[in-house]
Amino acid sequence: MFYFDSYYLILVLPAIVISLIAQAKVSSTYKKYSQVMSREAKTSTEVARAILDANGLYAVKVEAVSGTLSDHYDPRANVIRLSDSVRSDVSVASIGVAAHEVGHAIQHAQGYAPIKVRNAILPVANIGSHLSIPLIIAGIILSVEPLVTVGILAFAAVLLFQLVTLPVEFNASTRALKTLEDRGILYGDELIGAKKVLSAAAMTYVAAALTSLMQLIRLILISRDRD
- Active-site positions read 101
β-pair partners for 3: none
Q: What is the rounded CA–CA span in Å between residue 49 and residue 37?
A: 19
Written as one string, the DSSP assignment of 124-146 is HHHHHHHHHHHHHHHHHHHT-HH
Q: What is the rounded CA–CA span in Å between residue 167 and residue 11?
A: 24
Q: How far apart are the first and last CA of the chain?
A: 18
Strand, coil or helix: 179: helix
Closest CA to 60 of 16, 96, 108: 108
**Whether 11 contacts 219, CB under 8 Å:** no
Q: What is the rounded CA–CA span in Å between residue 61 and residue 170?
A: 23
**Whether 107 contacts 51, CB under 8 Å:** no
46 CB-near residues (< 8 Å, 6+ apart): none
